[in-house]
Structure 1
């Protein structure tokens, strides 16, 4: 079960600042796309996230996108976000995380995996020896398998003493 335990739980990626990272000895981020950076299925303007990523890069933080979204969706967002990455990554396969670490040129303890799912992002990051940050999903996409997964995630987090419920439930894309 400890492989499903995130090191940090936060409401939104914008809470990750250079100070947040420095306090944890982190120099890089591997980031999930859907419901972490961008709402699931959205192609709408993401100026705030793009500016956030640019600010982190300007502070010397290395960024890489590791998404299970389609390669086409990742290819749409990567130039806008301003950093490298892949879609169809196959998370939680540790091989995908090791490849991200190679691209970043950083050892696992200096990199955080940031995502909205315990069973892909947190599990994969922990298997790779990375710091893990679980963020509140941007929207409730209401897919049947996602609803089940979210219920299981709450049970697992409850075992760790986290009664983590979204503070601002967001309804959105289907």
Structure 2
């Protein structure tokens, strides 16, 4: 668990054998209500490119929404990923021929992003949502997620986000 996707440094990923980052779009890479992104996202994507780490957006949003959001960043994407199922991850793995041990999924939702990565057998990194508000459909998942968090903290203690892996 890290604070933000931007806290994942290329040298740390490479040291862990990671050659590809699958990343959720809304509230992970960009704020759901700000499709233009931030200078931090551009800098992070540039760092990944320089290190030859592939970045692919895996989003449950529709094609036109994801295409419009990532067009300015020049990254590939899979829309309608159907997380928490593995459809989107499976498409990326087949498209690029990645090995499961060299890929991570980064997302802000335990119930979709992290669950899908575990079902697909790849590593995952949970990040804090970029902003506190969510689209209406995500609010349902957040309600369910709070219940799971409570059970996890009851079992393991306070869960802490870090500044890197």
Q: Does TM, scored on the shorter chain, surpass 0.5?
A: yes
Q: Distance in 2 between matches of 1:151 and 1:118?
A: 10
What does 1:25-104 align with in structure 2 at a 5 Å threshold? Answer: 25-104=17-96
Q: 1:116 — aligned with what?
A: 108
Q: Go from structure 1 to structure 2 and tell me whether the alpha carbon gap of 1:44 and 1:83 turns closer, same or farther (over 3 Å shift).
A: closer
**Match for 2:124 among 129, 132, 135?**
132
- Kindly report the root-mean-square deviation, in angstroms, between the aligned alpha carbons of the 2 structures: 2.2
Q: Distance in 2 between matches of 1:45 and 1:82?
A: 13
Q: Distance in 1 between matches of 2:101 and 2:70?
A: 25
Which segments of 5 or more consecutive residues in structure 2 lack a partner in the other structure?
none
Q: Deviations over 1:115-166 (max 9, x none)?
A: 0011111111111111100000111225441441341242254156252378
TM-score by length of 1: 0.81
Q: 2:144 — aligned with what?
A: 149
Count residues with an aligned counterpart. 159
Is 103-112 or 139-148 further displaced after alignment? 139-148
Is 48-57 or 158-167 further displaced after alignment? 158-167
Q: Go from structure 1 to structure 2 and tell me whether the alpha carbon gap of 1:122 and 1:164 turns closer, same or farther (over 3 Å shift).
A: same
Q: Distance in 2 between matches of 1:130 and 1:57?
A: 21
Is 104-113 or 28-37 further displaced after alignment? 104-113
Q: 1:5 — aligned with what?
A: none
TM-score by length of 2: 0.85
